[in-house]
Structure 1
Amino acid sequence: MSKGAGSNRTGRSSRSAVVFGGAGFVGSHLCEALLADGTAVVCVDNLVTGSLDNIEHLHREARFRVVEHDITEPLPRSITRADPGQVFHLASAASPDDYHRLPLETLHAGAVGTERALELAREHRARFLLASTSEVYGDPLVSPQSESYHGNVNPTGPRSVYDEAKRYAEALTAAYRRTHGVDTAIARIFNTYGPRMRRDDGRMIPNFVCQALEGRSLTVTGSGLQTRSVCHVDDTVAGLLALIRSAHPGPVNIGNPDERTVLEIARAVAEVVGCDLTVAPCPPVEDDPQRRCPDITVARTALGWSPTVDLADGLTRTVRWFADTAPSSRPNPNTVFTGAAGG
């Protein structure tokens, strides 16, 4: 099936979609891309970590509807009557700051929320996509991480509420496929960044960008030699769409295999902002992965997908968005935004 096909293997039209978590960072970009492709979208979000600001520009679309609802509660008719051909489950706290603040809510979103989304897909014979995470690999003992690697996860540590919520969600999704024949797909999303991240998100890139724009030192935890592979949100969304438009069940890694140390990423942010890099060391974080790099062979071969936005270009777009729109991220008067690391 070609990527632009208008139907999935159940024979149902994919011209309508329900996106749980659609007002979040990745979810809002996904809603935007679906609308641009001609798909009617019902965006469902409880706005605990999402924001109506992320989707304000979409309200002029007649095919776009927003329902404020917690996915762990029974779905109202405003959602079930949408008769979707596609169901995306992105509803979860995703940053450590958020899931540490909302531990039980995060677990419920992965357990109860996943079941409610799967039941919606089952009822309407829709294609279902679970937005899982590279965190299912934990602090990996192998690198790069392929989908066949089962992970090294601490089931009771501080990160476990997110890691295990997603691992359970994957198990439940696979069980619905085997038991009920639901047409499912699992995407394991690696670190994603770009416009519409919250400045108080707590994750590495928004922290670095806001600190650099304000002329502050960049906070680096541990040695800074731990690695990350960051993927621009446009590429992540393209990967999610390629997966749901295929017949592949997953799991499929969606990420950028360009592995960098945290210090290298901090340096790249400083170059884009046009400031000298100064680092404020912080204690290491418990269970913080020391290596993070996806093997995207499956995505390349089965979906024809691979990332196209390089780090310099992606950071330039991200820094410009924060500089233009985030009230507390206005550049320091002595800092000149140069875009030096990319166009």
Structure 2
Amino acid sequence: MSRTLVTGGAGFLCSSLCDRLLQDGHDLLCVDNFYTGSKRNIAHLIGNPYFELMRHDVTFPLYVEVDRLFNPACPASPVHYQNDPVQTTKTSVHGAINMLGLAKRRGARIPQASTSEVYGDPEIHPQEESYWGRVNPIGVRSCHDEGKRCAETLCFDYHRQHALDIKVVRIFNPYGPRMQPNDGRVVSNFIVQALRGEDITIYGDGSQTRSFCYVDDLIEAMVRTMETGPEFTGPANIGNPSQFTIRELAEKVVSLVGGRSRLLFQSLPSDDPRQRQPDIALAREALGGWQPTVPLDDGLRHTIAYFRELLHA
């Protein structure tokens, strides 16, 4: 039985990763400082003899016995990562140093969860891994974007210098149940506003595009990444290549919720990317033919049902 560590394990995405790893027979250590994670997301796992929860901040070293570790820990929504930008950068950079150091001591395999934000406001479309990105290094989003870029740098330097078995995946716009209602991400924003009968707030004219990937599809890719051989390091894009404008997303949410919310347009935030779409050819090849299977409408229905229950609990 593999002893596996997941950082940020009580978050929206990684709590589902914890579910999957336990189902697959891992002995699991979940680490979270609960800055953005929620005990509600992993409460159902308490009492499982193969699940252990530790409150810990990855900006501090961690000394545990593990064979494998996933390192996604970092605030991922603008509301959270801009609230304390210095801590956000420290989480990505110091967190990567500490987890890579742990992996080096243990000889452990380490998939690093990076982000599509390393591409910034891209000049090519769709984005492929060979593109170096267009990121503002001093903007309000740079604490997250540059922090993740530095974490990737550290991964590959540990790989070259210490032959560490790394895997880097760049996640594109995940959504699904267990998102926080106040996290500021566009999917949760639109759903919560629609369920409350409020106007839907769109920043800019709504023509900017995103590629939304349902949580189950992303977890499948992350699990497959862990099982690849040492010859595969990435970085690899994992996401859904189907792209939608923000306005199209808002209209879908209003239609599925069935309310009368109107669309309210406001100024576009600084450095907000105009387009986002992954080229997933590398992931499809390296991860055994993996590709997303959940259409946006179906994923939105599941997510709306979750928020409907949460808001009326």
Q: TM-score normalised to the size of structure 1?
A: 0.89
Query: 1:63 & 1:285 partners in 2: Cα distance?
Result: 44
Q: Note if 1:270 corresponds to 2:257.
A: no
Which of residues 12, 25, 29 in structure 2 aligns to 1:38?
25
Question: Residue 290 of structure 1 corresponds to which residue in structure 2?
Answer: 274
AA matched with 1:19: V
- CA–CA distance in structure 1, aligned partners of residues 292 and 243 of structure 2: 13
Q: Which residue of structure 1 aligns with residue 284 of structure 2?
A: 300
The equivalent residue for 2:178 is 196
Q: Which runs of 5+ in 1 are unaligned?
A: 1-12, 331-343
- Which of 297, 305, 313 lines up with 1:312 in the alignment? 297
* Correspondence for 1:254: 238
Are 1:71 and 1:116, in contact at CA under 8 Å, matched by a contact in 2?
yes
One of 119, 143, 162 as aligned partner of 1:180? 162
Q: Contact between 1:93 and 1:102, CA under 8 Å: does it hold in 2?
A: no
* CA contact 1:199–1:206 (8 Å) conserved in 2: yes
Cα-to-partner distance string for 1:113-157 (whole Å, 9 max, x where unaligned):
101101111111111011100000000000000000000000000
Deviation, structure 1 residue 168:
0.1
- What residue identity is the alignment partner of 2:41? N
Count the aligned residue pairs: 310
Is the Cα–Cα contact under 8 Å of residues 266 and 277 in structure 1 kept in the other structure? no
Which amino acid letter does the alignment assign opposite residue 205 of structure 2?
S
Matched residues in 2 for 1:49 and 1:326: separation? 18
Secondary structure in structure 1 of the residue aligned to 2:82: helix
Matched, 1:59 2:43: no
For the residues of structure 1 that align with 2:33 and 2:4, how far apart are their CA atoms?
18
Moved over 4 A (4+): none
Does the 8 A contact of 2:198 with 2:261 survive in 1? Answer: no
Identity %: 45
- Counterpart CA distance in 1 for 2:253 and 2:215 is 17
The answer to whether 1:215 aligns with 2:197 is yes
Whichever residue aligns with residue 278 of structure 1, its letter is R
How far is 1:211 from its partner? Answer: 0.5
Q: What CA RMSD, in Å, does the superposition of the two structures yield over aligned residues?
A: 1.1
CA-to-partner distance for each residue in 1:1-49, whole Å, 9 max, x for gaps?
A: xxxxxxxxxxxx6x22100100111110111110011111100000011
TM-score (structure 2 length as normaliser):
0.97
- 2:92–2:147 CA contact under 8 A, matched in 1: yes
User: Aligned runs of 1:157-176 on 2, under 5 Å?
Assistant: 157-176=139-158
- What do residues 97-128 of structure 1 show as CA deviations (whole Å, max 9, x unaligned)? 11110101111111111011011111111110
